[in-house]
Structure 1
Amino acid sequence: MLRNLLPLSGRTAEPSGHCGVPVKAATATAFVTAVLALLPSVAEAHVKWFAPYIVGAPPAPISRTLADPWFWAGIVLVLVFFVATRAIERSATGEVILKGMDRISDPLWNRLDDFVHVVIGAFFVAIFAVGGVYLTPDLKTPAEWVSWVQLLIAFGVFSKRTMPLSAAGIILLWVLALRDYDLFHLFDYLALGVGVAAYLVLASSKNPEWKKHRFEALRWGVAIALMWSSLEKFAYPDWFYPLVEEKPFLTFGMPRDVFIPMAGVAEFTMGFGLLWTPLVRRLSAISLFFIFNAAVYPFGRVDLIGHALIMAIIVAIAADHTRQVHFLPAIKRSLAGVPVGLMAALVVFATGYWGLHMTFYGIEGRVAPAAATEMATHSHNPEQPHGPQAIGGIGAPPMGEPDLEEVSAGAPTTNTGAPRDSRAAYEATMAKMHKPMMEGMAHPDPDVAFVLGMLPHHQGAVDMAEVQLRYGTDPANRQLAAEIIQHQTVEIQRMQNWLKQRGVTVPE
């Protein structure tokens, strides 16, 4: 087994007479795990599965995140507990805690390869059963043969001879997805796919020096995927607004603009923790497991299928008994290495995310109107409607057949066949806009009054554009509506930032 291939790097073997974990050690472990688990996270549901998004739209400037005190509050909180965990890990108590974890996870550790193979196979069977997707609910495809490739991948993971073929199939599906989705969008899934493919190749290898790194490949794949996707909460916080507004329990009672940046910090730092020392990565994995599981019920089967592979790999990380630390081990073992490593990771990933977006789309961003309208939400689930879909927004499914009496009377119909519904939706946008707009313009400072009046005005334009995309059929109007959403959203962010800089409360 793997633990025979990876010595403990100077640590002594567990005494045969050891009989338990001291209470103080168990308490410390539980405390650190609980704190990490309680750090806010949007239940880790991938927002692109449930809410409108436009990848090519310009992201919020990184300076906005760096100026957010809640971002730094989350960073400081995590650093305190990561450093505390490292301090415990370096002591005799840390080894006792790790050995206690080893005993609890022994049954899984002894069959960990079997567990990973079954999970990978089951995941691809589930994706095959869903049909019409590449590797995740987010990536739709009309090609039926893609589903059969996924079934072959599932069968191939159970034999060392065919594991490399399954690995090649995973990479092939990602490459094929480039035909329908741009490269920046697919970065979300590249790291995880490469991690799983690398595991299959290494697990089938006859070279023990290669094979011993197979679980590490999985760990890096999940960690990079989590850290990259977490940046969406800083670059596009508005993608998360519909979910937060519809399901306020996700915020644990915190204001939206406090919760979302701290949720991004939690996801990024726990992904970072998976790459650190044994106790840090195992506690991070345990915390992530609880958070991912919390998303299953409120977000339904789409979330369960989409995250099943990540959740299983997280379980494998929590059960990993190895003590070796690769890639800058001296820094990782140092207490000062925790803040240095985290800051370096933030710089690398933020530079990569904003830099690549600017390289792909330019400073002003780029929006393909068809993508903004037809692909706003790829996987509507009628059993678990979310965001604008639940109220007739972008990406919602048709609402039924046309009203025959209205059609016979000459009423204009749309792609939904619900003219009275579209009229009510337009009227609702005006009713929502009027009062806050008038109240804002009553502010004694004319500059503040202008911004407070324009904010609901712009939001009203966005709301009207979403109604047009929901009910309208004219291509020119739909393109105009998509452009309005893009540009007005950017201007809303600028006005909100202006108010925050002057200490004016930003209206929700």
Structure 2
Amino acid sequence: MLSSLPRKPGLGIALALTGALAPAAASAHVKWFAPYIVDAAPAPITRTLADPWFWTGIVLVLVFFIATRLVERTAAGETALDAMDRVTNPLWFRLDDFVRIVVAGFFVAIFSVGGVYLTPDLKTPAEWVSWLQLLIAAGIVSRKTMPLSAAGIIFLWVLALRDYDPFHLLDYLALGVAVAAYLVLESSEREDWRKHRFEVLRWGVAIALMWSSLEKFAYPEWFYPLVEEKPFLTFGIPRDMFIPMAGVAEFTMGFGLLATPLVRRLSAIALFVIFNAAVYPFGRVDLIGHALIMAIIVVIAVDHTRELHFWSWIRRALVGVPIGLAGALVIFATAYWGLHAAFYGTDTRTMAEIMAEEGEMATHSYSLEHPHGPQAMETLREGDELPPITPAELGDTSVADAYAQSMMGMHDEMMAGLRHEDPDVAFVLGMIPHHQGAIDMARIQLAAGTDAENMGLARHIIAEQQQEIDAMRAWLDARGIEMPGG
């Protein structure tokens, strides 16, 4: 099964920036858009356990956490927390207002983007979803209507789970449930409930980070194309060293958000720096997609609460650091590998086996929208539609001839579609080849062009026009209408 899913690779930015903050590295949680072969079996856990770089990362993290806990027990640790409290007091006293503004602003932002559920990468052709997002934003204005907004968030996640692969959306689900739970608790009149409102946000982000980090152990091959496209992300660290250590860093930084006050606040500060640094190379969509996570990280860094409500004795004890980390690794790894087997069975091939049989870049299915994905035509799978113009096919053909060929094909199909008797259907049947013509021209630009601005524009055209083609094809399918010629 091929499923178009947004996954989140660890970045070299994280390793470099956090290296300056602590002995352990952290990993930014950056979305990128690629249709992975998601039913491929995860690599055996023994592969990770035999990797010396995995254990190197674990040792560095344990040293950092234990050292921080030792400082936290002293007067210096209390002084550090008091200083953080004084600096963050202005926001702490208005923290609920901050959270509500960011959550409402996020839903206004994705309403403006349109065609998505709850992140820019979970797309939907349903226009009414955008208006529901606007209602969710409006409901956050009043505490009386916040539970309704919470219900709306859960409803949209249910729709996303219906349309997308559930296993690979579990980290997103944790975040959505946490935000909805915050809205319910914040609107409550019971103080014994309200005191947990920031805590549920912390757990939501921590679970999301720890769950998604396991992809770097289960599917390290998924990150090879990104590393090849953007080698600066690793800052020169060898790929097979970087990926497992980035996975350890992301998992442990998420784990750190559940620890004692100084550990969790330092972890949150490091993550906030990392997420902001990732916005520049990945753009504004990355900022929108991470807005809720970044806001919750700010909440964790600002939170003055010193009380630990769950398992406080083990979390405060030094021995609780290795015990807690080992327990978290066992629980999450067991759940990840076990649930994958439950969803897909145990007879599927691993990514290493797929790549050995189908090519070095067969990490996911071919897609015009994803320039960092596999570009070799032999990686196309059965049933994928072969684009009319590709860089490889351009060869010795002149650019002018390539453009002319693409326009002739577009014109004939467009005119055939426009002859339909229903004006609505005619519009869609005409626009699909029109958009495909724009994609073909953009492909030629990527094959023959050299101007960086035009290359970026071509990639944007491909992504936007293909999204609209998919929406129009879905509209036709819903009405049982076929394109001319089948």
Q: Same fold (TM over 0.5)?
A: yes
C-alpha contact 1:136 1:306 (8 A) present in aligned 2: yes
C-alpha contact 2:102 2:292 (8 A) present in aligned 1: yes
Return the alpha-carbon distance in structure 2 between the equivalents of residues 346 and 272 of structure 1.
Answer: 10
Q: Structure 2 counterpart of 1:84, which letter?
A: A
Deviation for aligned residue 1:53? 1.4
Partner of 2:243: 260
Deviation for aligned residue 1:245? 1.1
Go from structure 1 to structure 2 and tell me whether the alpha carbon gap of 1:323 and 1:378 turns closer, same or farther (over 3 Å shift): farther
Residues 134-193 of structure 1 show CA distances to partners (whole Å, capped at 9, x for unaligned) of 111221111111111111111111211110000000100011112211321221211101
Higher RCO structure, 1 or 2 (CA under 8 Å, sep 6+): 1
Q: Structure 1 counterpart of 2:100, which letter?
A: H
C-alpha contact 2:366 2:375 (8 A) present in aligned 1: no
C-alpha contact 1:53 1:377 (8 A) present in aligned 2: no
The answer to whether 1:122 aligns with 2:105 is yes
Partner of 2:419: none
1:406-445 to 2 correspondence within 5 Å?
none
Partner of 1:270: 253
Partner of 1:39: 25
C-alpha contact 1:285 1:318 (8 A) present in aligned 2: yes
Partner of 1:153: 136
C-alpha contact 2:42 2:219 (8 A) present in aligned 1: yes
Go from structure 1 to structure 2 and tell me whether the alpha carbon gap of 1:213 and 1:237 turns closer, same or farther (over 3 Å shift): same
Q: Which moved more, 1:181-190 or 1:192-201?
A: 181-190
The answer to whether 1:111 aligns with 2:97 is no
Partner of 1:442: none
- Which of residues 223, 233, 236 in structure 1 aligns to 2:206? 223
Deviation for aligned residue 1:219? 0.4
**3-state SS in 1 of match to 2:147:** helix
Return the alpha-carbon distance in structure 1 between the equivalents of residues 21 and 138 of structure 2.
Answer: 40
The answer to whether 1:246 aligns with 2:229 is yes
**3-state SS in 2 of match to 1:179:** helix
- Which of residues 370, 382, 388 in structure 1 aligns to 2:373? 388
Go from structure 1 to structure 2 and tell me whether the alpha carbon gap of 1:36 and 1:356 turns closer, same or farther (over 3 Å shift): farther
Partner of 2:272: 289
Q: Aligned residues: percent identity? A: 69
C-alpha contact 1:124 1:154 (8 A) present in aligned 2: yes
**3-state SS in 2 of match to 1:387:** coil
Deviation for aligned residue 1:35? 3.5
Return the alpha-carbon distance in structure 2 between the equivalents of residues 379 and 296 of structure 1.
Answer: 23
Return the alpha-carbon distance in structure 1 between the equivalents of residues 368 and 123 of structure 2.
Answer: 8
**3-state SS in 1 of match to 2:116:** coil
Return the alpha-carbon distance in structure 1 between the equivalents of residues 68 and 126 of structure 2.
Answer: 48
Deviation for aligned residue 1:388? 2.2
Partner of 2:10: none
The answer to whether 1:174 aligns with 2:157 is yes
Return the alpha-carbon distance in structure 1 between the equivalents of residues 124 and 269 of structure 2.
Answer: 34
**3-state SS in 2 of match to 1:50:** strand
- Which of residues 38, 62, 69 in structure 2 aligns to 1:79? 62
Return the alpha-carbon distance in structure 1 between the equivalents of residues 266 and 174 of structure 2.
Answer: 22
Deviation for aligned residue 1:407? 9.2
Deviation for aligned residue 1:391? 8.8
Residues 374-417 of structure 1 show CA distances to partners (whole Å, capped at 9, x for unaligned) of x959994xxxx6512889988999869964358989xxx99765
Q: Structure 1 counterpart of 2:46, which letter?
A: S
Go from structure 1 to structure 2 and tell me whether the alpha carbon gap of 1:386 and 1:212 turns closer, same or farther (over 3 Å shift): farther
Return the alpha-carbon distance in structure 2 between the equivalents of residues 81 and 139 of structure 1.
Answer: 36
Q: Structure 2 counterpart of 1:120, which letter?
A: V
Go from structure 1 to structure 2 and tell me whether the alpha carbon gap of 1:171 and 1:307 turns closer, same or farther (over 3 Å shift): same
Return the alpha-carbon distance in structure 1 between the equivalents of residues 239 and 33 of structure 2.
Answer: 18
Deviation for aligned residue 1:214? 0.4
**3-state SS in 2 of match to 1:178:** helix
Return the alpha-carbon distance in structure 2 between the equivalents of residues 291 and 112 of structure 1.
Answer: 22
1:324-363 to 2 correspondence within 5 Å?
324-363=307-346
- 5+ residue gaps, structure 1, are 1-30, 368-372, 426-469, 471-508
Return the alpha-carbon distance in structure 2 between the equivalents of residues 135 and 124 of structure 1.
Answer: 8
Partner of 1:208: 191
Partner of 1:365: 348
Q: Structure 2 counterpart of 1:45, which letter?
A: V
Partner of 1:404: 404
Residues 308-354 of structure 1 show CA distances to partners (whole Å, capped at 9, x for unaligned) of 11001000100000100121100011001000000000000000001
**3-state SS in 2 of match to 1:327:** coil
Return the alpha-carbon distance in structure 2 between the equivalents of residues 127 and 397 of structure 1.
Answer: 30
Partner of 1:64: 47
Deviation for aligned residue 1:365? 3.2
Return the alpha-carbon distance in structure 1 between the equivalents of residues 157 and 144 of structure 2.
Answer: 22
C-alpha contact 2:366 2:373 (8 A) present in aligned 1: no
Partner of 1:438: none
Residues 91-110 of structure 1 show CA distances to partners (whole Å, capped at 9, x for unaligned) of 11111100000001111101
Return the alpha-carbon distance in structure 2 between the equivalents of residues 288 and 234 of structure 1.
Answer: 21
Q: Structure 2 counterpart of 1:59, which letter?
A: P
Residues 433-484 of structure 1 show CA distances to partners (whole Å, capped at 9, x for unaligned) of xxxxxxxxxxxxxxxxxxxxxxxxxxxxxxxxxxxxx9xxxxxxxxxxxxxx
Q: Structure 2 counterpart of 1:348, which letter?
A: I
Return the alpha-carbon distance in structure 2 between the equivalents of residues 258 and 386 of structure 1.
Answer: 25
Total equivalences in the alignment: 379
Partner of 1:501: none
